[in-house]
Homo-oligomer: A and B are copies of this chain.
Amino acid sequence: MSMRDDRVDAVFAALADPTRRRLLDKLAVQPSATATELAAAEPVSRQAIVKHLRSLDEAGLVMPSRTGREVRYAITPEPLEDAVGWMATVGAQWDRRLARLRGRLEAGH
């Protein structure tokens, strides 16, 4: 059950870049797109987008599939759950500590 650490690593790292998040935004609406298509709507070069898509792929957030001479990328949001899981854990622990502290205080110092 141990949350794969390097996986979470890659997911957060991928999500840290605004361009990458925008790409995911697009792919969350549009079923799939090519790097060249996506680059047209972004202020950076196609190669830059390709690199971004590569790191999204390595994080498992996107899946490329070749059809003919073009490569279409589709979103795979499952890995987000690992990341959310970690956040939930930290949040829960924090809440628990707070509750314990509150209890101890109410118990009369």
A interface, CB within 8 angstroms of B: 5-6, 8-9, 12-13, 15-18, 21, 24-25, 28-29, 31, 75, 77, 80, 83-84, 86-87, 90-91, 93-94, 97, 101
Contact = CB atoms under 8 A, between A and B. Distances in A.
Contacts of A83: 15, 87
Given A12-B15, A15-B12, A97-B31, A80 B90 contact: yes
How many copies of this chain are found per oligomer? 2
A29 B91 CA distance: 10
Contact of A21 (B86, B94, B97): B86
Contacts of A25: 90, 93
Contacts of A80: 87, 90-91
A33 to B, nearest CB: 13
A58 to B, nearest CB: 13
